[in-house]
Amino acid sequence: MAKYLLLKHYRGAPAAVNDVPMDQWTPEEVSAHVQYMRDFATRLEGSGEFVDGQALSPEGTFVRYDGEGRPPVTDGPFAETKDLIAGWMVIDVETYERALELAGELSAAPGAGGKPIHEWLEVRPFLTEPPTITE
């Protein structure tokens, strides 16, 4: 099994095909989308492939160390041009192809007009522990 991070972006990814802001959908379309996401996570739990899923607030700040005895420097909120992560799902699957298949399904979540959003998701493999047997 190998772990993959499926990253969803508020912005920074290429534009989705069905790219309509959520508050411009109908309330029923919003509900259908929420239900699709819940069902997806439940199904992955059932298949033993779900590890974790979290959503992030769009608000955030960059922070860095500014030297001994000084408070950290902050820069924010994030500039409008910045890549902005909306949330993630961690899956543990047999193959890379399975990770792509699941990301594809997640991207098909319904949006405006009940049609798939076709949103771009980022699939990132986890770095693992070194294997015991190396030769």
Nearer to other proteins, 22 or 73 (CB): 22
List of E strands, 1-135: 2-11, 50-55, 62-64, 73-75, 84-93, 122-125
Residue 26 binds other proteins (CB under 8 A): yes
Single out the residue of 1, 19, 31, 66 in contact with other proteins (rule: CB under 8 A).
31
Q: Which of residues 44-83 bind other proteins (CB under 8 A)?
A: 55, 57-59
Cα-Cα-Cα-Cα dihedral of 18, 47, 9, 83, to 10°? -140
Nearest approach, Cβ of 100 to other proteins (angstroms)? 26
Gap between the Cα atoms of 85 and 8, Å rounded: 6
Residue ranges that bind other proteins, judged by CB under 8 A: 21-27, 29-31, 34-35, 38, 55, 57-59
